Amino acid sequence: MSVFRGSYDSSFLNKAVGSGTIVQLVQVDGERAFWLSGGPHFFFYSSPSGQVFDPRRWVGDALLWSDGSTTYRLESALGRERTIEVAESLP
């Protein structure tokens, strides 16, 4: 799991995935989240100052959510529903 101080832009997220990646709107603890699956994709995020970070590494299936000031990314081969359960069990 990765934790980043910053947020994501959902419109940017939808534009940055390739044709083999599926983005699904899901919920983590009742809040909007995204499940990315299928083809590999890059992960970008924005710091509170607006700087975009681009770690340039391919990632597999992942759950992405934010509490407003912090973004969480959980890569998992467990599938969507089980990964959401794991995310909701985190403190």
List of E strands, the chain: 2-5, 21-28, 31-38, 45-46, 52-53, 62-66, 70-75
Q: Around 14, how many Cα atoms within 13 Å sit in the side-chain half-sphere?
A: 5
Q: Is 18 left (phi over 0), alpha (psi -120 to 50) or beta?
A: beta
Q: Return the pLDDT at 15.
A: 47
Q: Quote the tokens at residue 8.
A: 């994501």
User: What is the pTM assigned to this prediction?
Assistant: 0.74
Express each pLDDT in 2-41 by its tens digit: 787 766 655 554 445 667 888 899 999 998 999 988 876 6
Q: Is 16 left (phi over 0), alpha (psi -120 to 50) or beta?
A: alpha
Express each pLDDT in 32-74 by its tens digit: 999 988 876 666 666 667 766 665 555 678 898 888 778 888 9
Q: Return the pLDDT at 7.
A: 60
